Structure 1
Amino acid sequence: MNRIRRFLAAGGLLVLLAALAMIAPTARAADRDTLVVGMELAYPPFEMTDTAGKPTGVSVEIATELGRYLGKKVVIQNIAFDGLIPALKTGKIDLIISSMTANEERAKSIDFSEPYLSTGLCLLLKKDSTVKTIRDLDQPDHTVAVKKGTTGHAYAGKQIKRASLLVLDKEAAAVLEVVQGKADAFIYDQMSTYQNWQKNQATTRAILEPFQKESWAVGIRKGNDDLKKKVNAFLKDFRRKGGFERLGDKYLKEQKDAFRKLGYPFYL
């Protein structure tokens, strides 16, 4: 009988532990004093670290201002880009602020705030490339680099049928493939394409007119409607007070000026 009781007690304990494991993410997310924001700190000037290893950049400042608006302490979690949505869904983080494009595929598993930046997919090409449009790129003798988990990766997976697809974990690795002439192009967002072209003008050229327009937004866990309303209210208030314009001037003045000269709109 004692063995049976011990067995039942152990079984009950396992059930209890399993139940606690299931609610643990919710409990972490329910910490009302702290806002845990996930981002990949490898995308300057939006998400990066300073010389002391401290998070900085446009998205970090947005997160900090959001925390101040909500009266919460902000904790930044550095997570690989393709791990951000799983981290949000399991409650390891409360929000994603990581230059993430809001699209239909991602909206199946998470919610998004109102957009706060307009951009689009562009091409960084090797210098001697004759490619003029994204359609020209889809040839059997071409190699297209993309960063894993990005909308460029998603686009290429669906639309690039004949060219070889090179999927890499890091932006810098994809740029290097183009710089060295191993890849014909890198599909990435407009501002980063401009920056990478500026750094490598001797070996690359850029097509900065987006072939797919996109908007960045804050990622929010499904069902967290109260937080979504508060984030949207913050974004509206922050824009009204000139917060986005200030961040644009602080981190992206060169891009803003260059895009205006090139005739491309710049929205932040």
Structure 2
Amino acid sequence: MKKIFLIFLSIFLFNMSFSQEKPLVVGMELAYPPFETTDTQGNPTGFSVDLAKDLGKYLGRPVVIENMAYGGLIPSLMTKKIDIILSSMSITKEREKAISFSDPYANSFLTILASNKSKVKHPMDLNAPGMKIAVKNGTTGHLVATEYFPKAEILVFQKETAAVLEVSQHKVDAFIYDPMSIYKNWKNYKDTTTPILEKFQTSNEYWGIGYRKQDKKLGKEINSFLKEYKKNGGFEKLTDKYLKEEKEQFKAQGIPFFIN
């Protein structure tokens, strides 16, 4: 009886200590399925949500998901409204001026969703007068478009869905985003759009978890978690849960899958 009491006491004390730990406030835009989205009840769900929860368990901290516009993630981190960014964010030199990133956990690149009425057959066909390109505000697609396609007109949208709709209605020639999203959106508009999954950047993009520059201890803990998580098959489990179909399709088309 005494042993049972001690077991229950240990569980109680563990739960008390966990609940008293400062929550890990994770910023993400819940508008990017299957990575960051909401279920039918409005609860956060997806690849990144599960990853954040597993990180919280590793750190011994309860996780709170803060949903916000993508462009507001870095300002919110810098003003301490959130503790980390885990929102399919690419590591860029410009962003690293403001915040730090973990080791990469995904290796991505940009691709094109083209209108079927456009003459675009190759990504660089977009760099011509009269071409219209839709991009999502604050994304690397937005930054890269101005660099690679200076002759085209760049139209900036706040939401991915709005940009894709412009392509499907043939109001713009193309939308620039990662291959996973391009493939997903093409499936929704097969009759009006074409995916051009050819890589046109000279370098790859890497996704990382963002944290404040002064939080070096947290950064080391995140890197230790990612290393252990990968070693123990955590990313494979998340991929099988959320991205199994996409992984098989990418393999069939000879396109590199980007989850490490």
Using the size of structure 1 for normalisation, the TM-score is: 0.87
**Structure 1 residue 124: Cα displacement:** 0.2
Cα distance in 2 between the residues matched to 1:162 and 1:206: 22
Cα distance in 2 between the residues matched to 1:53 and 1:148: 24
User: Match for residue 51 of structure 2?
Assistant: 62
- Describe the SS at the equivalent of 1:211: coil
Quick check: 1:235 aligned with 2:210? no
Q: Which amino acid aligns with 1:41?
A: L
CA displacement 1:234-262 (0-9 Å, x = unmatched) = 00111111110011111011110000000
User: Match for residue 247 of structure 1?
Assistant: 238
- Describe the SS at the equivalent of 2:41: coil
**Structure 1 residue 174: Cα displacement:** 0.3
Quick check: 1:263 aligned with 2:257? no
- Describe the SS at the equivalent of 2:75: helix
CA displacement 1:29-86 (0-9 Å, x = unmatched) = xx95210000000000000000000000000000000000000000000010000000
User: Match for residue 188 of structure 1?
Assistant: 177
Whether the 8 Å CA contact 2:21–2:60 is kept in 1: the answer is no
* 1:42-57 map, 5 Å: 42-57=31-46
User: Match for residue 4 of structure 2?
Assistant: none
Cα distance in 1 between the residues matched to 2:129 and 2:232: 51
Percent identical among aligned pairs is: 54
User: Match for residue 87 of structure 1?
Assistant: 76
Alignment match of 1:97 (pick from 62, 70, 86): 86
Whether the 8 Å CA contact 1:190–1:210 is kept in 2: the answer is no
* 1:34-45 map, 5 Å: 34-45=23-34
Aligned-pair Cα RMSD in Å = 1.1
Cα distance in 2 between the residues matched to 1:32 and 1:223: 20
Whether the 8 Å CA contact 1:129–1:184 is kept in 2: the answer is yes
Q: Which is higher, the Rg of structure 1 or of structure 2?
A: 1
Bigger drift between 222-231 and 157-166 goes to: 157-166
Cα distance in 2 between the residues matched to 1:32 and 1:158: 45
Q: Which amino acid aligns with 2:234?
A: G
User: Match for residue 223 of structure 1?
Assistant: 214
User: Match for residue 4 of structure 1?
Assistant: none
Structure 2 residues without counterparts, runs of 5 or longer: 1-19
- Describe the SS at the equivalent of 1:132: coil
Alignment match of 1:137 (pick from 116, 126, 134): 126
Cα distance in 1 between the residues matched to 2:122 and 2:198: 10
* 1:70-219 map, 5 Å: 70-212=59-201, 213-219=204-210
- Describe the SS at the equivalent of 1:227: helix
Q: Which amino acid aligns with 1:259?
A: F
CA displacement 1:9-46 (0-9 Å, x = unmatched) = xxxxxxxxxxxxxxxxxxxxxx9521000000000000
Distance 1:79 1:202, change over 3 A: same
Aligned length: 238
Whether the 8 Å CA contact 2:123–2:196 is kept in 1: the answer is no
CA displacement 1:149-208 (0-9 Å, x = unmatched) = 000001112332221111000000000000000000000011000111111110000111
Structure 1 residues without counterparts, runs of 5 or longer: 1-30
Q: Which amino acid aligns with 1:262?
A: Q
Cα distance in 2 between the residues matched to 1:126 and 1:224: 44
Cα distance in 1 between the residues matched to 2:86 and 2:125: 34
Using the size of structure 2 for normalisation, the TM-score is: 0.89
